[in-house]
Amino acid sequence: MSPRKSTLSLLQNVPWHLVIVLALIAALGIWNLASAASSSDPTLWQRQGLWFLIGLAACVVMTLVDYRYFLSLAYPIYGFVVLLLVIVEVKGHNAMGAQRWIDLGPMHLQPSELMKIGIVLVMARFFHEDPHTEEGHSIFQLWQPALLLLIPIALVMKQPDLGTSAMIAAAAGSIILVAKVKWRSLLFIAASFVAVAVYAWFNLLHDYQKRRVFTFLSPESDVLGSGYHASQSLIALGSGQMWGKGWGQGTQTQLSFLPEQHTDFVFSVWGEEHGFVGTLFLLLLYFVLIAMMLQVAATAREKFGAFLALGVTAIIFWHMFINIGMVASVVPVVGVTLPFMSYGGSSMLTNMVGMGLIINVAMRRHLF
């Protein structure tokens, strides 16, 4: 096939419906941030728009190279991000009691966000090359992916960042489950998870993280203290009623009662200002996006592409599920952002790189 015909074939195979839904969610996110941060930082939405453009450029770059080349780059990329996490531990930038960023002058880089892509790449490569996929894996055959997962989890938990640790584990766990695990191994993994959770509770979690769990179990016990975030979020969501108060008219938002309203609780801003109908519309967009991403994974021509697409889909899904569950007090507050809606440069860049990989797989699934 000539280079010209090859380029035309790639362009014809771009999943434009997926691109349009992605762009619509990001545009709504920037518009929502213009209201969420209007009383504290009126230029924040402009910076988010700039990060979206940077992420869009990264997304395009990721589509230009055949995703199969990342098969050989998976371990080097993973190792590089682990090195960045070590640098964060040694000389990272500290803010709000957490040491999660590398100071790059005009911007801060959060390597734990990049590890979401790193862990998906190495898991996709491992299960692509693993001969035990068909008959199912025993627990002893999973020692390598377990080690690959535990290293970044330990480094991210040290920062501390429980939310990102959970998202890295969720992305890897989603790939492992689809790759087939024997039921005895699943029982062992479940028991190990309980044991690790107990150990983490007594040895790793900070007091404020434990209070979040207690508040989730009994939200009315400390409404003005550890339960403040959850209670104000529910007030904002409920006050939106059917149609919402209108853009820029949310009292919980504009009077700054709602905490972290441009990051963790940005969905509460949307619910207050656009109501039940607007909330359903946004949820529909997310589920359409995830359904299209799953379709890409299901129709990939080989295992690496399928696992790659599945891992990126898991990142977006679990972020959406945990964040919305968090603001609705269905899950504890763990500091997880809403993809393409919450403010954050590293988060936007990571998600757009992931979407570039999804589009890459979709473009090439009919070419070989």
Segment 260-308, tens digit of pLDDT? 788 888 999 999 999 999 999 999 999 999 999 999 999 998 899 999 9
What's the pLDDT score for residue 253?
77
Segment 50-63, tens digit of pLDDT? 999 999 999 999 99
Q: How far is CA 255 from CA 37, 46, 236, 248, in A?
A: 11, 21, 11, 11
What's the pLDDT score for residue 312?
97
What's the pLDDT score for residue 1?
47
What's the pLDDT score for residue 261?
82
The pTM score is: 0.88
What's the pLDDT score for residue 96?
59
What's the pLDDT score for residue 219?
56
Closest CA relative to residue 30, chosen from 280, 266, 265, 264 = 266
- Residues of the chain short of pLDDT 50, as ranges, are 1-5
327: exposed, middle or buried (Cβ count in 10 Å: 0-12, 13-18, 19+): buried
Segment 192-202, tens digit of pLDDT? 777 877 777 77
Number of folded domains in the chain? 1
Domain that residue 67 falls in: 3-364
Write the Ramachandran bin of 196: left for phi over 0, alpha for psi from -120 to 50, otherwise beta. Answer: alpha
What's the pLDDT score for residue 296?
95
134: exposed, middle or buried (Cβ count in 10 Å: 0-12, 13-18, 19+): exposed
Token pair in block for residue 6: 């090859």
